[in-house]
Amino acid sequence: MTAFGKLPARSLGNNGPLIPRIGLGLMGASGTYGQPLPETEHLKFLDEAYKRGETFWDTADKYDDSESVLGKWFAQNPDKRKDIFLATKFGICTNPEAKDGMKNWMDSSPEYCRIAIEKSLKRLGLPYVDLYYVHRLDKVTPIEKTIEAMVALKQEGKIKYLGLSECSADSLRRAHAVHPISCVQVEYSVFCRDIESPQVQLLQTARELGVAIVAYSPLGNGILSGAIRSLEDVRKPGDVRGVLPWLRKGNIEKNVAVVDQLTEIAKAKGMTTAQLALGWLFAQGDDVFAIPGTSKIHRLEENLASLSFQLSEEEEQSIRQIAQYVAGGRFQALTGFAFADTPQL
């Protein structure tokens, strides 16, 4: 079994590679939560992540210049490619110049799958990626057709493992019947536990099939770090979090109070609030991974240190009880494609 990195590792699904339980989400370094890092700082940040044993890197073709910057890093560090478990994604198409409101649309067709991987590999300057996700299902293409296209890429040596993101339980089951799916990436945190819902059944289905869960936004887009106390904290240029339902007037006050209660539990254990939130995720099972995003070294170190703590069953339940008072929901953009189904063949 292939192993990546020096951090505590787990198998990514049944018979998958051993990868760090905490990955590095790279969306924020290229914008979304503020201005993107200048390229030199971005490259230096990747150097520092590597030095700390963080070798599970998660990007996507939608994340602005992320793949291109990674391509430059790999060109500067060709000997380190073997150490990095690199994930990227396709399926969300963007045209920022669109005048008809169609700035984002989904395309999980076999044709676009091949176009997208070729473009990603060119930007990355690599012959393959370790993990390739369907970022969103377009609800038009039968999932079997998408997976068949990805299997062809695997046979050609362009990808090694297959993943889905924000799929329905049925879509996962149908995809897995075509080819083993290593993991599902989905929003999962103390603030967002939709995948546990009896209606969604995604966590239950993934476990039945031996598919790992990769949790994105494990810190609730930053609110679980304790750094967001008011809307003023997310109003810098380029930060889209001001539209988060959790941060709307009437909700943010309640949610800051929730975070404050979590902070009290964290302090009693010698943890930060972010470490408690990540520790809660890891307490859900060895099949749960997290990819908190950051562009700050001290935050990266804080996140990695969460692996040193364990929560008792009583502490995990206390956190759940506090989380019942979270007001508002997850980020609304693209949620029309959350837990997406696709037509039958």
Taking only the tens place, the pLDDT of each residue in 198-214 is 999 999 999 999 999 99
Catalytic residues: 63
Per-residue pLDDT of 79-90, as tens digits, reads: 999 999 999 999
Per-residue pLDDT of 224-266, as tens digits, reads: 999 899 888 877 777 777 788 898 889 999 999 999 999 999 9
Q: If phi over 0 gives left and psi between -120 and 50 gives alpha, with beta otherwise, what is residue 206?
A: alpha
User: What is the rounded average pLDDT of the residues 181-205?
Assistant: 97
pLDDT at 242: 75
Task: Supply the pTM of this predicted model.
Answer: 0.94
Range in 215-224, 284-293, 332-341 with the lowest mean pLDDT: 332-341
**Contact by Cβ (8 Å): 281, 217:** no
CATH class for the region spanning 9-337: alpha beta
- Within 8 A by CB and 6+ apart from 98, the residues are none
Domain layout of the chain by residue ranges: 9-337
Range in 33-42, 166-175, 295-304 with the lowest mean pLDDT: 33-42
